[in-house]
A and B are shown apart, each in its own frame.
Chain A
């Protein structure tokens, strides 16, 4: 493929809540949860932050990082499972806020945690076919976890934006491969505030089957093996799943470590895997190869192979890094967290 990443930008809210603080409320043992999930704390949106504001901040960081002319963006696609409107696109607000309107197409995507990578694939299709010059694909969420549910320990907030094009790319997309089935491991019904899930059923038939199938399918198509890559990143609903799936596929702990941001961030759902990729791009060198596989419940996986170009060094410092946004958090207690998340109804 000629298409690749032209620029990228991330956004993480400043607030965090520690696992111990949530466990204290529900009478759980924090150590067993931390050991089981490999997550220590998660991000929490401010009172006035939602998927739209996070998507806009990430998109602005992507535009600013490489000095992209927003009028050249011909498509804005935002993947999320927490769009604030059921009907009325997040993507039109993003497009207006970055100055990309009105000559473009826009739509919102939903596919649990992989809606953002599906948006990337849609942009790749449009740039490869010369329908557009640049496409903006965003994965952003203020994830929902019901009070007391296991999801509450990881459901976090954050977003990442990728500008896809053929010119001035920082990472070429060598190929992408998807694996999709009808697997009801996680869902949220229309009008319901919190998702439901199949507990342990989300593991083997959901996450592991789809991630391994997409990853192996892509490596077979490209004729590559895990040792050909400098870095690998997998969807991170917790720390345990991506660590285990990397081992199953033959990737080392060293390859996945830079992109494994979930321990300090939580699961940003549509932003999860894409945030790990952003953290890797923050440190990658020209010539490095990156392997990525996202997973969305329902269920499907999108695998990508990237090759980093010389241009990465020119634009890297044009916007804040993931590490900068993870640093200096403000810790809040459960009551403040509940207020921020709208769990307290006035």
Chain B
């Protein structure tokens, strides 16, 4: 990811800021310029999601791209946020605990780095809701 591309998406990655269409009530993450249902008549405004949701499905990645090889094996899941939209994210927990329907919440983690001397990328991952760090 280039520096400029990360910087443009930084607010959305740090805090799960997407969009909400005030006309139809739809929620979108990542943010959209227009509501796909209301099109030209959409009234999209920035919306900060609570960061809570549940695991729709998951996989455990053993063979990753070079960027993530230090983290293998890791859990990659589709999370359905409480407000509606779904997104793909790592879930940080014991591999024996992960299950479909697991309640999760967002956490601030390091997503990766450009290189040893390059930029560090931070953003949102998910951890089990029952984790004591609320």
Give 1 or 0 for each of A48-61: 1 = CB within 8 Å of chain B CB: 11101100110011
Q: Is A26 located at the chain interface by the 8 A CB criterion?
A: no
Contacts of B125 in A (CB 8 A): 48
Within the complex, the shortest CB–CB distance from B83 to chain A, in Å, comes to 18
**Closest A-chain residue to B106, C-beta based?**
A60
- Cβ A47 vs Cβ B15 within 8 A: no
User: Which of these binds chain B: A149-157, A174-182, A321-329?
Assistant: A321-329
- Cβ B108 vs Cβ A56 within 8 A: yes
- Cβ A50 vs Cβ B70 within 8 A: no
Give 1 or 0 for each of B96-134: 1 = CB within 8 Å of chain A CB: 000000000001111100000000101001000001111
Q: Name A320's contact: one of B71, B109, B120, B132 (CB within 8 Å).
A: B132
Q: Is B56 located at the chain interface by the 8 A CB criterion?
A: no
CA of A325 to CA of B94, assembled, Å: 17
- Cβ A60 vs Cβ B108 within 8 A: yes
Q: Name B108's contact: one of A47, A53, A325 (CB within 8 Å).
A: A53
Q: Name 29 interchain pairs, CB-CB below 8 A, sorted by A.
A: A12-B133, A14-B131, A46-B92, A47-B70, A47-B71, A48-B92, A48-B109, A48-B125, A50-B110, A50-B120, A52-B110, A52-B120, A52-B122, A53-B109, A53-B110, A56-B108, A57-B108, A60-B108, A97-B14, A97-B108, A97-B122, A99-B15, A320-B133, A320-B134, A324-B133, A325-B132, A327-B132, A328-B132, A339-B70
Within the complex, the shortest CB–CB distance from A62 to chain B, in Å, comes to 12
CA of A49 to CA of B122, assembled, Å: 10
Within 8 A of B (CB), among A320-346: 320, 324-325, 327-328, 330, 339, 346
Q: Count of A residues near B, CB < 8 Å?
A: 30
**Closest A-chain residue to B134, C-beta based?**
A320
Summarize B's interface: helix, strand, loop or mixed: mixed
- Cβ B92 vs Cβ A57 within 8 A: no
Q: Is B10 located at the chain interface by the 8 A CB criterion?
A: yes
**Closest A-chain residue to B123, C-beta based?**
A97
Give 1 or 0 for each of B51-76: 1 = CB within 8 Å of chain A CB: 00000000000000000011100000
- Cβ B110 vs Cβ A11 within 8 A: no
Within the complex, the shortest CB–CB distance from B133 to chain A, in Å, comes to 6
A57-B133, A320-B132 provided; 19 other pairs, C-beta below 8 A?
A11-B133, A14-B133, A46-B109, A48-B92, A48-B125, A52-B110, A53-B108, A56-B108, A60-B108, A64-B134, A85-B120, A96-B10, A96-B11, A319-B134, A324-B132, A324-B133, A325-B132, A325-B133, A346-B70
Contacts of A96 in B (CB 8 A): 10-11, 14
Contacts of B120 in A (CB 8 A): 50, 52, 84-85
Most central of B10, B108, B110, B132 by chain A CB within 10 Å: B108
- Cβ B110 vs Cβ A49 within 8 A: yes
CA of A134 to CA of B9, assembled, Å: 28
Q: Is A23 located at the chain interface by the 8 A CB criterion?
A: no
Within the complex, the shortest CB–CB distance from A336 to chain B, in Å, comes to 13
Q: Name B71's contact: one of A48, A84, A99 (CB within 8 Å).
A: A48
- Cβ A61 vs Cβ B111 within 8 A: no
Contacts of B92 in A (CB 8 A): 46, 48
**Closest B-chain residue to A330, C-beta based?**
B94
Within the complex, the shortest CB–CB distance from B126 to chain A, in Å, comes to 12
Contacts of B131 in A (CB 8 A): 14
Q: Is A68 located at the chain interface by the 8 A CB criterion?
A: no
CA of A160 to CA of B111, assembled, Å: 22
Q: Is A33 located at the chain interface by the 8 A CB criterion?
A: no
Most central of A11, A60, A64, A319 by chain B CB within 10 Å: A60
Contacts of A328 in B (CB 8 A): 132
Q: Is A122 located at the chain interface by the 8 A CB criterion?
A: no
Contacts of B108 in A (CB 8 A): 53, 56-57, 60, 97
Q: Is A38 located at the chain interface by the 8 A CB criterion?
A: no
Contacts of B69 in A (CB 8 A): 346
Q: Is A93 located at the chain interface by the 8 A CB criterion?
A: yes
Within the complex, the shortest CB–CB distance from B11 to chain A, in Å, comes to 7
In the complex with contacts A46-B92, A53-B108, A57-B108, A93-B133 CB distance below 8 A: no
CA of A346 to CA of B111, assembled, Å: 18
Most central of B10, B71, B109, B131 by chain A CB within 10 Å: B109
